[in-house]
Structure 1
Amino acid sequence: MRNTNTGVISKESSSMTKVYLLPPIVKLLLAVLLFFLICILGFSFFKGRAQSTLIALQQKRTQLENDVSAGARANGQMEYLSKNTDTAKLQYESMLKRFPSESQVGGLLANITKLGTKDGLKFISFKPKTAVDQKYYAEMPVDISLVGNFHQIARFLSGVANLPDSVVAVNKFTITRAENSDNLLSLEFTATVYYTLPTSMDFKV
């Protein structure tokens, strides 16, 4: 019986010998073609992974936007209650009691930074702006920029929106990939801190 394995080995050896005997310029061209083929395959692979990651981030962003919009709805409800019946007055006053006083705002801002640093987030900037007085309460916007991984940022946003004895709305936020890092994200957003004014309990229908 003819040994087919020997025939296969002979063919492979013959092919390798032919490649080895090719002129240097031809071998160089083959090497360049092989290099570009590997680059194209690698680019296609990583592009597919990047697109999958981007889709996941967009879905999470939509989810977070839906979560934090609850604060905006609560604010609209408060405006409605401030203009209605005696029952609404009681509900409005009850809602205002959830707001910290002006003297407690400093501690609340410190709690926001502690919430992030405790979870390993790196703050790039933390800039409280001038408060805007409404009739019975004030709004203080705080521009925040930080860097962390996906799960750290999600926990931080949820924690800020649920800080005890406070009302903080998270809005105008963007999430992008951090520079020079494949695993970290950059988060920029405005946290609006609500607090009561001395006239808050003088509310009249």
Structure 2
Amino acid sequence: MSSLKNKINEFREKLTVVLEKVGLLTKVQRLLICMVTFAVIGGAYYYFILMPRQDEYTKVQKIYKTQVDMLATYKKRAEEISIYEKKMAETQASFNEAMKALPDKKEIPSLLTGVSMAGSNAGLSFLLFQPEKEINKEFYSEIPVSIKVAGRYHQIADFFFQVLQLNRIVNINDVDVKSKQGGESLEMSCKAVTYMFLEKQALPAEKGQKPKQQIKKT
């Protein structure tokens, strides 16, 4: 207990000496000491406390900016994917709708019959109705039919109109109309072309590709 009192007394004596010395200084000297003291304290605060926090704040800002840029990129990609999916859905719907207009193999005979009946209903006389060999394309095949008929102009126009009303795609190509001598009758030749969607197994083999031989099990 006595040692503590001694230390306190020593501190008071030293403080008294310092204060007496400070009291002997001029105002300018005191002001300079205060400024130096504040500068040292301020420098220590900036170097040991403020500067580390400022560096950490700068790092956090950079990370935040990076995250914001990444989020903007992801949003843009999400919008592009959404637009792409919408276009794909529209394309698929259009493709499905187009496929409905293409006859399958079972419908070809009835479709050709429909074309023939369209000519008969229009009052035309058939001189030729000859289905030709299928022409295979990438994913569909063309089925052409050579047609030659005789009749009047309005009957030919009616035939074309009835063909357009069929529930499957039939194009009329290579139309050639000639007038017959000695009358108002016309002779028209054309090629009616319908299309059939090819299933994967029915697609034409690539050039130079030989069919695989099947090995029979014994």
Calculate the TM-score normalised by the size of structure 2: 0.49
Contact 1:176 1:185 in 2 (8 A): yes
- Residue aligned with 1:169, SS: strand
Quote the residue 1:28 is aligned against. none
1:92 counterpart letter in structure 2: F
Determine which structure has more spread, i.e. the larger CA radius of gyration. Answer: 2
Q: Which of 119, 122, 142 is the matching residue for 2:125?
A: 122
Quote the residue 2:141 is aligned against. 138
Answering whether residue 203 of structure 2 is matched by residue 193 of structure 1, we say no
Cα drift, residue 129 of structure 1? 0.9
Quote the residue 1:13 is aligned against. none
2:151 counterpart letter in structure 1: G
1:137 counterpart letter in structure 2: Y
Cα drift, residue 87 of structure 1? 3.1
Contact 1:142 1:192 in 2 (8 A): yes
1:188 counterpart letter in structure 2: S
Contact 1:102 1:197 in 2 (8 A): no
- Residue aligned with 1:126, SS: strand
In structure 1, C-alpha distance between the alignment counterparts of 2:187 and 2:124, rounded to whole Å: 10
Answering whether residue 101 of structure 2 is matched by residue 98 of structure 1, we say yes
Q: Deviations over 1:45-69 (max 9, x none)?
A: xxxxxxxxxxxxxxxxxxxxxxxxx
- Residue aligned with 2:182, SS: coil
2:117 counterpart letter in structure 1: K
Cα drift, residue 194 of structure 1? 1.1
The alignment yields a C-alpha RMSD, in angstroms, of 2.2
2:184 counterpart letter in structure 1: N
Answering whether residue 91 of structure 2 is matched by residue 88 of structure 1, we say yes
2:97 counterpart letter in structure 1: S
Q: Deviations over 1:160-202 (max 9, x none)?
A: 12212x0011111011102x432100111111111222239xx
Contact 1:115 1:156 in 2 (8 A): yes
In structure 1, C-alpha distance between the alignment counterparts of 2:118 and 2:90, rounded to whole Å: 37
Give the count of matched residue pairs: 116
Cα drift, residue 86 of structure 1? 4.9
Q: Deviations over 1:134-171 (max 9, x none)?
A: 2322111111000001110000012112212x001111
Quote the residue 1:176 is aligned against. 178
Quote the residue 2:46 is aligned against. none
86-95 or 183-192, which moves further after superposition? Answer: 86-95
Cα drift, residue 85 of structure 1? 4.1
2:173 counterpart letter in structure 1: N
